[in-house]
């Protein structure tokens, strides 16, 4: 069977690296993500937040605290080490530093 296929040249695009840099990486627009202790990443929404609270049996929502962390080179190395040795990566790296303990690895 022989069929003729027409090739359509795509319009000129900026390179992927430049395009990604202009858009802020691989995320389209402004999106907030939730990262769990086992490094599971999911887009944050009201429904997903309620589902997560139910999953962890959170009764007192006012007991929760938001933690904003800065990830530099040292934290990145610690995250990598902890991700290979633990299932509670974020707790081990960021809460251990807050208390003044060295991450247990």
In a domain, 71, yes or no: yes
In a domain, 9, yes or no: no
In a domain, 70, yes or no: yes
Calpha distance 28→95 (Å, rounded):
31
In a domain, 28, yes or no: no
**pLDDT tens-digit map of 37-72:** 888 888 888 898 888 889 889 999 888 888 888 888
Q: What residue numbers bound the domain in which 66 lies?
A: 33-99
In a domain, 18, yes or no: no
Calpha distance 87→68 (Å, rounded):
20
Instruction: Please give the tally of structural domains in the chain.
Output: 1
**pLDDT tens-digit map of 20-33:** 445 555 666 677 88
In a domain, 20, yes or no: no
Copy the structure tokens of residue 60. Answer: 């007192």
In a domain, 64, yes or no: yes
Calpha distance 26→19 (Å, rounded):
9
């Amino acid at each position: 069977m022989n069929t003729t296929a027409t090739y359509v040249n795509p319009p000129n695009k900026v390179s992927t690296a430049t395009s990604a840099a202009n858009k802020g990486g691989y995320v389209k627009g402004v999106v907030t993500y939730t990262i769990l202790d086992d490094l599971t990443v999911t887009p944050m929404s009201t429904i997903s937040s309620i589902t997560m609270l139910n999953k962890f049996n959170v009764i007192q929502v006012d007991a929760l605290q938001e933690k904003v962390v800065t990830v530099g080179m040292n934290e990145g190395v610690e995250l990598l080490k902890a991700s290979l040795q633990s299932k509670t990566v974020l707790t081990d790296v960021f809460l251990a530093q807050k208390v003044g303990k060295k991450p247990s690895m």
